[in-house]
C-alpha cells in the first residue's frame, strides 16, 4: 500500500506540474504515465470500492496540487525564457509514454488496421482544432433555453476534460463560452455556473463509464484512438526547429530527458 501510494503521488505531482503547459492536458500526461485507466475506473466505478477510491483520488488530488504549486511557475518560466529546449522536453515526454500505450493496446505488429485507428484519432483532434471559435451559440435565448444549453456545454466540456489530447479551453471557445465562463467564475455568477457544473459533473460520470467499458471490451482500438489524440495534440507543443548547432544539442538533450522521465514513471505500475 505504501509503495502504491508513493507511485500515485509521484505521478500526480508530475501531472500537476505540467498542466499549465500549452498543448499538454492532464489527461494526456495521466495516460502517458499509465495512471489514466485507474483514474477513469475510480470515478466511473466509485461505488465498487468507496474507501479505496476515496483514498486513491485524495492522494492523486494532493499530489496534483503539490505539483501545480511547486513546479507550474518554474516550468512556465522555462518555457518563456528557453521555449525550444523546454518544449522539446515535453515532446520527449509524449514519446516516452508511447511504449506503455502500445503495451496496453497489445500491439504485436504494425498493420494497416493499427495505423487506421491512430490516424482516425489524430484526424478527430485536428477537425476539432480547426472549428472556428463561437461556432455554436450555447447560452443564447431565454433563461430556460440558456440553462439547457449551458448544461449541454458542460457535458461537452467534460468529454474534453476526460479525453486526452482535447483542450477544455478550446472546447469552450468553440461553444462561444470561454469569456463568459471566466467572467462567471470571477464574479461567482451562480446562474451561469450551476448549469455548467451540473453538465460537467454528469458528463464526467457518463464519459468515464463509457470510456471504462470501451477500455475493458475493446482495449486495442480505444488505446490506439487515444494515442492518435495525443500525437495530434503534440503538434501544438512543437516550437519549431532549433536555430543553431548548440541549440540542437540542448534540445536533443532535453528531448531525451523528457523521454526517460516519463518512460521511467510509466514503468511504475
| pLDDT score recorded for residue 85 | 92
Q: Is 195 helix (H, G, I), strand (E, B) or coil?
A: helix
Count CB neighbours of 35 within 10 A: 25
Cell of 252: 536533443
Q: In angstroms, rounded to a whole number, what is the distance separating the alpha carbons of residues 230 and 23?
A: 10
| pLDDT score recorded for residue 169 | 67
Most distant CA atoms of the chain, gap in Å: 61
Residue identified by cell 464574479 is 187
Contact in structure between 239 and 251 (CB atoms under 8 Å): no
Per-residue pLDDT of the chain (269 residues; tens, 9 = 90+): 566 778 888 888 888 877 766 666 677 778 777 788 888 888 888 788 888 888 888 888 888 888 888 887 787 788 888 889 988 988 888 888 788 778 878 787 888 988 999 999 888 878 877 766 655 555 555 577 778 888 888 888 787 777 776 766 667 766 777 777 777 777 777 887 888 888 888 888 888 888 888 888 888 888 888 888 888 877 777 888 898 899 999 999 999 998 998 888 777 65
| pLDDT score recorded for residue 18 | 74
H-type alpha helices, 33-49: 36-44
Question: What is this structure's pTM?
Answer: 0.72
- Of 52, 58, 61, 7, nearest in space to 33 by CA: 7
Cα separations in angstroms, 186 against 18, 33, 152: 24, 33, 22
Q: In angstroms, rounded to a whole number, what is the distance separating the alpha carbons of residues 24 and 67?
A: 15
| pLDDT score recorded for residue 145 | 74
| pLDDT score recorded for residue 204 | 82
Q: In angstroms, rounded to a whole number, what is the distance separating the alpha carbons of residues 267 and 97?
A: 9
| pLDDT score recorded for residue 90 | 84
Count CB neighbours of 141 within 10 A: 12
Amino acid at each position: 500500500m505504501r509503495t502504491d501510494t508513493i507511485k500515485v503521488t509521484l505521478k500526480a505531482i508530475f501531472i500537476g506540474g505540467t498542466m499549465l503547459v500549452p498543448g499538454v492536458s492532464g489527461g494526456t500526461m495521466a495516460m502517458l504515465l499509465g495512471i489514466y485507466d485507474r483514474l477513469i475506473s475510480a470515478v466511473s466505478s466509485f461505488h465498487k470500492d468507496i474507501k479505496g477510491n476515496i483514498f486513491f483520488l485524495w492522494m492523486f488530488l494532493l499530489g496534483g496540487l503539490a505539483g501545480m504549486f511547486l513546479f507550474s511557475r518554474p516550468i512556465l518560466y522555462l518555457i518563456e525564457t528557453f521555449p525550444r529546449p523546454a518544449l522539446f522536453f515535453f515532446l520527449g515526454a509524449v514519446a516516452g509514454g508511447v511504449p506503455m500505450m502500445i503495451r496496453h493496446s497489445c500491439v504485436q505488429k504494425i498493420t494497416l488496421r493499427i495505423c487506421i485507428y491512430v490516424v482516425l484519432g489524430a484526424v478527430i483532434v485536428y477537425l476539432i482544432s480547426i472549428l472556428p471559435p463561437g461556432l455554436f451559440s450555447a447560452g443564447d435565448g431565454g433563461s430556460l433555453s440558456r440553462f439547457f444549453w449551458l448544461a449541454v456545454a458542460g457535458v461537452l466540456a467534460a468529454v474534453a476534460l476526460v479525453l486526452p489530447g482535447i483542450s477544455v479551453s478550446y472546447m469552450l471557445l468553440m461553444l462561444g463560452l470561454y469569456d463568459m465562463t471566466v467572467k462567471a467564475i470571477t464574479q461567482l455568477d451562480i446562474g451561469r455556473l450551476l448549469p455548467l457544473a451540473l453538465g460537467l459533473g454528469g458528463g464526467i460520470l457518463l464519459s468515464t463509464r463509457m470510456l471504462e467499458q470501451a477500455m475493458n471490451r475493446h482495449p486495442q482500438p480505444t488505446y490506439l484512438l487515444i494515442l492518435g489524440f495525443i500525437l495530434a495534440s503534440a503538434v501544438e507543443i512543437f516550437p519549431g526547429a532549433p536555430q543553431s548547432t548548440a541549440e540542437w544539442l540542448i534540445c536533443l538533450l532535453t528531448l531525451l530527458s523528457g523521454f526517460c522521465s516519463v518512460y521511467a514513471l510509466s514503468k511504475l505500475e
